[in-house]
Amino acid sequence: MTKDNNTVEPSAANALWGGRFDGAPSSIMEAINASIGVDKRMAAQDLAGSSAHAAMLCACGIISADDETAIQAGLKQVGEEIKAGEFAFSAALEDIHMNIEARLTDLIGEPAGRLHTARSRNDQVATDLRLWLRGALYDVDALLAGFQKALLTLAEAEAETIMPGFTHLQSAQPVSFGHHMLAYVEMTHRDRGRFADAQRRLNESPLGAAALAGTAYPIDRDMTAKALGFDRPMRNSLDAVSARDFALEFLSAASICAVHLSRLAEELVVWTSAGFAFVSLSDQFSTGSSIMPQKRNPDAAELVRAKTGRIVGDLNALLMVMKGLPLAYSKDMQEDKEPVFDAYDALCLSLSAMTGMMADLGVNRAALADAAGAAFSTATDLADWLVREAGVPFREAHHITGQIVKLAEKQGITLSELSLNDMQSISPRVNKAVYAVLTPLASATSRTSFGGTSPINVKDQIKFWKENLS
């Protein structure tokens, strides 16, 4: 019940804090201090950590077997209530830790008060977030693997489809559409590696570091670490409660991954436009206009592109929270979970949307072929031919080819349409054999160096990824 506009009646939070406070916090203080709206998402992890802690306390003779039995039974019931949607979360109890402890006290009484022996909310929340993020990283990796498979399927179907490759968004050289898709398979592979690295580094247990200095109780931190699936307990109690670099590393990897998705999303937006018409999105991933009946909008791709801003913003938000904090724990760090959860949600949705778009993407092979031959995209092949067949130094060949391109441009035709006489007017060393390299398909097929765009290479890379994708 509210006493006035600024204070509230003493709540259960006071009992959990201890006897230091006589009065109740103001309603404003309660509002800014509460995190239950965000951290209730870690209920399962908090229960798991408490269960492991109780078992360890009993094994070390710190609490009795009867108390542990009561605690474990109570924690199980709390978990069932949360799962069934019957648990009443309270902002007055601040966070998930206090909410669960208060309900445990209601259920089992005095033994609940012994659960918090030899730990603090500082090591508790660090443990919970590491556990939650470890599971989240498995989810992200599975989505990334699915995205890779969709790209790989598309690459295989379009290995021999020739499209213009771009630099500066200007037509540069013909490439295989499958080769283009495999570029994103490679990016995604590195993304998966970054997330896997982050998972390895975060998999150490803070539990038992207590508030910041460890504890005088004879606890077994190896026992709780093993029970919770951590590789080991963290070696420094100050670091254990104050480190959030594991969350920053996730957000950094998520930001890089989101940027990769955004680049492909941008290409889909461009390629589906009437000016390109390279690809089409299905009805499942397109929207219409409320006023223009002809419109078919790539909104899913645009939203993936936009969500990248959210994810990068989440990284910056936590960097700013952490940048000025002295050791060890500060309440600022309560702001760590919301950007992590938000980035995870946005990234998972983006990955699902991109996977769906690539799985049923329509590829306009005719439009791609026409564009591949435009803008003198085989000019480099002409220069290479002069070097290879006529013994012309590359810089001279580059100059000759530039003059030939200028001549074709004046006539409004492609290089393959330019007459041999016209080419020989620039350089008599050109002969009719040059026409064999002036088609987009011939250009792409000739790029057989490792990592090149030749359809033969593309098929080899598809085989490699099929064998190695896990």
Catalytic residues: 168, 289
- Check: CB of residue 27 under 8 Å from CB of residue 2: yes
CA–CA gap between residue 366 and residue 50 (Å, rounded): 62
Residue ranges in 113-271 assigned as alpha helix (H): 121-157, 177-202, 221-227, 237-242, 245-271
Residue among 426, 445, 384, 392 nearest 178 (CA): 445
Asked if 272 contacts 298 with a C-beta cutoff of 8 angstroms, the reply is yes
- Determine the 3-state secondary structure of 171 from DSSP: strand
CA separation (Å) from 162 to 278, 310, 440? 11, 35, 7
| The residue to which tokens 């201090």 are assigned | 33
**Close Cβ partners of 61 (under 8 Å, ≥ 6 residues apart):** 218
263: left (phi over 0), alpha (psi -120 to 50) or beta: alpha
Q: What letter represents residue 447's amino acid?
A: R
Joined together, the tokens standing for residue 81 give 């209530």
- In angstroms, rounded to a whole number, what is the distance separating the alpha carbons of residues 99 and 70? 18
Between the alpha carbon of residue 90 and those of residues 30, 37, 149, 224, 297, the distances in Å are: 11, 9, 44, 28, 43
Residue type, 156: E
Q: Residue 383: phi, psi to the nearest 5?
A: -65, -45
Residue 125 and residue 337: Cα distance in Å, rounded? 10
Residue 116 token pair = 């918090």
Distance CA 363, CA 259 (A): 23
3 state DSSP class of 306: helix
Question: Which helix (H) or strand (E) is 442 found in, with range?
Answer: helix 440-446
**277 close to 364: Cβ distance less than 8 angstroms:** yes
